[in-house]
Structure 1
Amino acid sequence: MLPTPKNEETEIPWWLLVAGGLAVFFLVRIAADDLYSQLLATLSRGIGITLFVTIVAFGSACGLGLLLALGSLSRHPVLRHAARFYIEIVRGLPILVLLLYVAFVIAPAGVVAVNWVLEQIGAEAIRTRDFPLLWRAILALSIGYSAFIAEVFRAGLQAVDEGQVEAAKALGLNGWQRFRFIVFPQAFRMILPPLGNDFIAMIKDSSLVSVLGVMDITQLGKVTAAGNFRYFETYNVVAFLYLLMTVTLSLLLRRLEQRLARRPG
């Protein structure tokens, strides 16, 4: 029989103490070393782009993922099979391949389609380069993660006790009211941990936008290292910045999960 683990709230987080110690050591090293200080100042400019790409893409992916989850649970065969087709196809593509496909195939094709519409109404055509690479990257991440998030939503919605839905029907609540007040609040508690994991994963996968030349942390690191040939120090700072964001978010999400678990109902 496996030993019963201690309560997470009382157990000493040794991993966090070690990680905190390493972070303090690295910050002291940065403060004492001019090269590290310059690298941190340079690469920190990419934090805004990284967070912007992550937040916008994740928000879009959640909205699309929820629609896909509802579609995959629909009683209408066309909606159900269309949603499953999208989910299975997109989940089978590597994010990097999807990023390149959206940036250099779907985006130009979309511009051609828009220009055809503009031509019909006599408006001025747009150019492919008018569709910024930043937004192509956001579109690709939104499409890629929406398929995974759809499965998270679907599992959470299906986990809600059917008896509560029947009770809501007996009280006269319509479909939207049942979803808004009964189903989704309970499903949200169950999907929060995997949803948080997907958000943290997207922060890391946002580094892939550097292949399009988007000036995020990774791209700034590549450009800086190519100029000063100090690869060790440069990528130390790149790794430090990503770890700072991901570990901090992991701790915040864990605290939120604990608060929701203690809340009654």
Structure 2
Amino acid sequence: MIDAILNSYYIQCLPFLFQGLVWTLIITIGGLILGFILGALVGMGRLSKNRIIRAICMVYVEIVRGTPILAQVLFIYFGLTEEVIGINIDKIIASIIAISFNAGAYIAEIVRGAIKSIEKGQHEAGRSIGLSQRQTMRYIIWPQAFKRMIPPLGNQFIISLKDTSLFSVIAVGELLYMGQQYYNLNFATFQTLIMVCVLYLCITIPTSLYLRRLERRLDV
């Protein structure tokens, strides 16, 4: 019985799939780190009093949110050729850039919404004790806003993780692509795709449970 399980395609495909899972996590985490930095800057820019900065940030958000990430990664990888920008973009780098730019637009709205949700009295309280606008944002507004960002940021992590499956179109060796390569060789389509889904769930379900626990702890 045990030998039959160990020799089944469900188990035999795992070493192959784990290679893809590593790249899936690298692309997701790397892209979201850059995406958060970009999103925080754009989100703050959308609250700027400068109309030009607000307009630029709004155009970026609307363009990215209005186009599919598949089109974005194809544009980055195939559109930004060496003739256009002077260098060839590696497919992994293209994937990280696509995740960061795509997630950055959504994170910008998360940041903007969280900051706007803080009562105006908090801003006034900071100014009343002698803090500058920047110090008020750093020490009073941002810590409170960040707590409110946690649930949607967690959702964005899960969305971006699943979005990496689209990068198989440029032959990135992420989880789904490695699964496709395995069942093309062994014709074990059903078993392989079951295990691909299981591995995705092994990441997304614990992440969701942890975020719920964190929300309760922080009283978000």
Runs of 4+ in structure 1 deviating by more than 2 angstroms, as ranges, are 28-35, 106-112
- 1:198 aligned onto 2:156: yes
**What's the CA shift string for 1:227-265, capped at 9, x where partnerless?**
111100110111110011111111111111111118xxx
Give 1:145's aligned residue.
103
Query: Which consecutive unaligned segments of at least 5 residues does structure 1 have?
Result: 1-27, 113-126
> Which of the residues 40, 48, 54 maps onto 1:80?
54
Count of aligned positions: 219
Q: RMSD of aligned C-alpha atoms?
A: 1.8
Where does 1:207-226 land on structure 2 (aligned, <5 Å)? 207-226=165-184
SS at 2:35 equivalent? helix
Give 1:42's aligned residue.
16
Aligned-residue offset at 1:87: 0.7
> Which of the residues 79, 82, 93 maps onto 2:67?
93
Answer with 1 or 2: which has the greater Rg: 1
SS at 2:48 equivalent? coil
SS at 2:169 equivalent? helix
SS at 2:80 equivalent? helix
**What's the CA shift string for 1:119-143, capped at 9, x where partnerless?**
xxxxxxxx52xx3110011101111
Query: Which consecutive unaligned segments of at least 5 residues does structure 2 have?
Result: none
Higher relative contact order (CA 8 A, sep 6+): 2
Q: What is the TM-score when the length of structure 1 is the normalising length? A: 0.78
Which range is displaced more, 39-48 or 67-76? 39-48
Q: Distance in 2 between matches of 1:226 and 1:66?
A: 42
Aligned-residue offset at 1:32: 4.6
**AA in 2 matched with 1:185:** P
Aligned-residue offset at 1:50: 0.7
- 1:184 aligned onto 2:158: no
Aligned-residue offset at 1:29: 11
> Which of the residues 182, 188, 196 maps onto 1:238?
196
